[in-house]
Amino acid sequence: MKILITSELYAPLINGVVTSIVTLRKVLIDLGHDVRILTLGRETDESADRKIYYCSSITCDQIYPGARLILKTDQAILAKIIDWEPDIIHSQSEFSTFRFAKKVAKYLDIPIVHTYHTNYEDYTHYFAPNYTIGRKITQIFSKFLSSSIDTMIAPTQKIAELLTGYDIKSDIEVIPTGIALNKYINPCPESELESLRKELKIPKENKILLFVGRLAKEKNIEELINYLNRIKRKNISFLIVGDGPYRQELENLTSDKNMEDQIIFTGMVETSQIAQYYQLADIFVNASTSESQGLTYIEAMASGLTPLCRKDDSIKEVIYDSRNGFQYKNFQDFHSHLTKLLSSRDLRQRLGDQAQHFILCKYSDQTFARSIEQVYEKTLQQKLALKVTI
């Protein structure tokens, strides 16, 4: 099968969408498919193997780090893709590259599968004067988008229900994003972990709480800082891995609370090194309710790390209380669960082992790619049946 994947964002940028695409592409190629990527770059270009096309674009970092925008369709790239004749398009973004995908699909009369990665209702503060107006804009935009899509993929049931509420007309399939699990499962050498602990200046007796992700307002990281300040346990180090537009506010809050010795901001970490951070930590924490796929939850659990995360529909089928971690609703919940976990290494080990086993069974890259492959086949069959009917 010839598969064109379109996305505004791609490697070397690091985020959940890019991780999902890179993972999918690799396994689809391993399964024997011819996969090409259409993305955005500073100028028109293509990779040495002619499998990745870059369309000339301008930067939009003020909207999102690494975001870019096409001013006009690149006719040379369009001609190359049409000449290649893909069987199906898998769109991963809703803006510039989606418009490109529609042009290719219309010219070749092929279907579009689209993964709806982002719940834009959680980002209304970026583009609307208030939530009500932002939600209405999101609903209208998503419904308009779906009119050009044959099958919509939702990474979680939460996103699927959201799309259903928008009265989306295209078929909706729920497929959790999988990851390449080996680098998280395989233990890092103890010497590397000790070296990392020393580099971060974390006392040997301290337990480590870990957050991994983009530092943005919607991630609600300040809640974790405020909770730890209320608990006032000095033998805890809180490791915040990642970067983003809200970092300065979080650093200011840390300073205001006199927690500089307890909270460590690492900035961005190379993907090749991230497994060390998961394996160094004792508990994974996250207060976000804006996750659409929660890849860092999956990475943490694959590493055998016990999660303690804010209750949300996006993780209700991932974290099960007292079985493979804990979800909390308020400070009292958080404090109670954290106290239990910190006081019992056996409990952390048991829940971490069960978390890892759960992820191994459900979130492998192979399971993910084969599920997507089945959606492609089903969508192509439906498109063919429609052509025959017409």
Q: Please tell me which of 50-64, 70-84, 238-252 the model is most confident about, judged by mean pLDDT.
A: 238-252
Could you give the strand order of the β-sheet that contains 283-286, starting from the edge strand earlier in sequence? 263-267, 236-241, 207-212, 283-286, 306-310, 326-328
| Residue scoring higher pLDDT (60 or 253) | 253
Report which of residues 379 and 72 the model is more confident about: 379
pLDDT score, position 344? 97
Residue 347 · residue 336 · CB < 8 Å: no
Amino acid at 366: Q
Average pLDDT score over residue span 159-181: 93
* Interval 243-272 mean pLDDT: 95
Q: Is residue 91 within 8 Å of 112, Cβ to Cβ?
A: yes
The SS3 of residue 112 is strand
Write out the two tokens for 44.
């028109």
- pLDDT at residue 65 greater than cutoff 70: no
* Distance between first and last Cα of the chain: 24
Domains of the chain: 2-178+365-389 (3.40.50.2000), 182-362 (3.40.50.2000)
Write out pLDDT tens, residues 299-345: 999 999 999 999 998 898 899 999 999 999 999 999 999 999 999 99
Q: Per the structure block, which two tokens stand in for 149?
A: 């899509």
Read off the amino acid at residue 36: R
Which residues, other chains included, contact 45 with Cβ-Cβ below 8 Å and sequence gap of 6+? 53, 54
* pLDDT given at position 47: 84
Mean pLDDT of 280-290: 96
Of the pLDDT bands very low, low, confident and very high (cuts 50, 70, 90), residue 56 is confident
Number of helical (H) and strand (E) elements in the chain, helices listed first: 15, 16
Question: Over the chain, what is the mean pLDDT?
Answer: 93
Radius of gyration in angstroms for the set of CA atoms belonging to the chain, rounded to a whole number: 22
Angle subtended at Cα 225 by Cα 224 and Cα 226, rounded to the nearest 5 degrees: 90
* Percent of the chain residues topping a pLDDT of 90: 78
